[in-house]
A and B are shown apart, each in its own frame.
Chain A
Amino acid sequence: MELKTHISVNNLSVFYGNEPALKNVTVDIPDKKITVIIGPSGCGKTTLLKSFNRMLEAVEGIKISGAVLVDGENIFDPGIEITGVRKKMGLLSQRPYPLPMSIYDNVAYGPRIHGLKKKKELDRIVEHYLKESSLWEEVKDRLYTPASKLSIGQQQRLCLARGLAVEPEIILGDEPTSALDPKSSQRIEARFLELKKDYTIVVVTHILRQARRLADYVIFLYLGELIEHGPANQIFDNPKQEMTREYIQGVIS
């Protein structure tokens, strides 16, 4: 399998105060594939994911070294505009957090921030991305009602639509289905498999079965260290490291 790189992580280390959360991680994340980050709780999965859209910097006392190249540019370069980096990526968090406004305004929030004002164009975008995240049919008659009234599963799909509406290249998901019921989780997974045609997707999960269903590429972290990474079939069927094998077999968790 020939893989084009989209995000390239070079010697990334992250410290919270003096506690290391990531130690010298180097890995390439392939373009237009689903990369799944697995590993036990507290091993640094969220930290790795959040380093991609520079969401870590708001934490007091954090130290970051190394580089993350997106499309060949180091996002930590002083000259790089942080909003530009974030615009390239849609983020789905563990629990959906709709913005305190209507369904329509949630999806239109990003495009408006980036300067789009025309009502017609916004209407088109809202409809398009609500369809893209398979929420349109359920909400098309109540676009102007509060987003907080939706069910959790619908809210997560709304967050997906909201993220897609800024036309990112990358979708980041931090255990995006962990608050959802099985049916809603399935819909999100199905969306991901569909969306990878056009987007590079990076998902954190600690559900191994979900990892198997989604992954083209797998990154296994343990206590802040990158233990192994590679194409999904290799990691799941024939891991090189003993630790990876044990984790996949459920010996360590």
Chain B
Amino acid sequence: MNRARIEENLFKGLMLISTVTILTCLLLILGTIIVKGLPAMNWAMVSQIPKGGFYLGKEGGILNAILGSLYLATISTVLSILISLPVVLYLNVYAKKGSRLAYFSRFSFDVLWGIPSIVYGAFGFTIMLYLGLRASLLGGIIAVTFLIFPIMSRAIDEVMRMIPAELLEASYALGATRLETAFKIVIRQSLPGILTAVLIAFGRGIGDAASVIFTAGFTDYIPYSLFRPAATLPLAIFFQLNTPIPEVQERAYASAFILTLIILLVSLSCRFLTKRFTKHLIK
């Protein structure tokens, strides 16, 4: 065998090992939550609120946390879209190429992305104190929105930057304004990227415990008001795992399984949507 061949095979082998490692990790994680959680899985888990003991009852379910997490992540994701889209459209359509402001904004997103979520929790808590809010769904929403909007912005920005300048030029040349171009061309062309970004942000938002621990609090009840505490799945898992009682620990794994399932479902529906929207894209 010659050298090129050996190198080729060596790298192929390394890539294969990496792929297998990643897949094994995924399977191990899924396996663990399924095996450990399955005994506690039943219909009551997803249809009832906890019974028999504050936070950690062995009976009932975690509907409070499921709904709390869904409300929190969904509303935060929608708010993030409302913040992110104008920002990235501004950066990619209105700001001139190489402008200082654009550079600075992108740099800030990177920094914000890297800040640990507990800091967002603390920051959200400060804002809440300032506004006179107690731990509540609204407080959680504020903290999680701050946590995920830089992630979403950066991810959308990354795909919008890939759009060739000539495509925008083609639209301008037809007499379209920047706004028309932004909505009819840029958003359309980057739609798959936008969906992916929304998905990443949602996943991060629904799975984060540290940002909601002070801000959203926890409760055994189904959230019914923005100004009341709301339970979330990551915290439910955290509290349940922290008990010495094996049955409750099992319920933690079942909760983790439910959380994973939610993310998987959202992810799959996003994929499905993306497929439907991408046929006209310019490659």
Contacts and interface: CB of A to CB of B under 8 A. Distances in A.
Contact of B166 (A86, A93, A100, A114): A93
A86 B172 contact: yes
A102 B279 CA distance: 9
A1 interface: no
A110 B175 contact: yes
A146 B175 contact: no
Interface in A38-57: 53, 55
Given A93-B169, A100-B189, A148 B283 contact: yes
Given A93-B170, A110-B174, A110-B175, A98 B96 contact: no
Given A60-B97, A91-B173, A99 B166 contact: no
Nearest to A50: B169
Contacts of B185: 99-100
Interface stretch (B34-42, B47-55, B176-184, B241-249): B176-184
Interface in B45-79: none
A100 B282 contact: yes
Interface centre among A84, A87, A109, A166 (most CB of B within 10 A): A109
Contacts of B97: 58-60
Specify the main secondary structure of chain A where it touches its partner.
Answer: mixed
B280 A87 contact: no
Contact of B175 (A58, A99, A102, A114): A114
Interface string A16-57: 000000000000000000000000000000000000010100
A91 B189 CA distance: 21
Interface centre among A55, A58, A159 (most CB of B within 10 A): A58
Contacts of A84: 175
B188 interface: yes
A195 B85 CA distance: 42
Name the interface size band of chain B: 20 to 34
B279 A146 contact: yes
Interface string B224-268: 000000000000000000000000000000000000000000000
A55 B169 contact: yes
Given A60-B99, A87-B175, A99 B283 contact: no
B171 interface: yes
Contacts of A102: 280
A103 B243 CA distance: 62
A148 B96 contact: no
A90 to B, nearest CB: 7
Nearest to B185: A99
A147 interface: yes
Contacts of B172: 55, 86
Interface string A162-191: 110010000000000000000000000000
A109 B174 contact: yes
A59 B168 CA distance: 13
B167 A99 contact: yes
A101 B188 contact: yes
A99 B171 contact: yes
A124 B116 CA distance: 58
Contact of B177 (A83, A90, A101): A83
Nearest to B188: A100
A110 B172 CA distance: 10
21 contacts: A58-B96, A58-B97, A59-B97, A86-B173, A86-B174, A87-B174, A95-B166, A97-B170, A99-B170, A99-B185, A100-B188, A100-B189, A100-B280, A109-B171, A109-B174, A113-B176, A114-B175, A148-B282, A159-B170, A162-B170, A162-B174
Given A59-B96, A166-B175, 7 more contacts: A55-B173, A86-B174, A93-B166, A99-B171, A99-B184, A99-B185, A163-B174
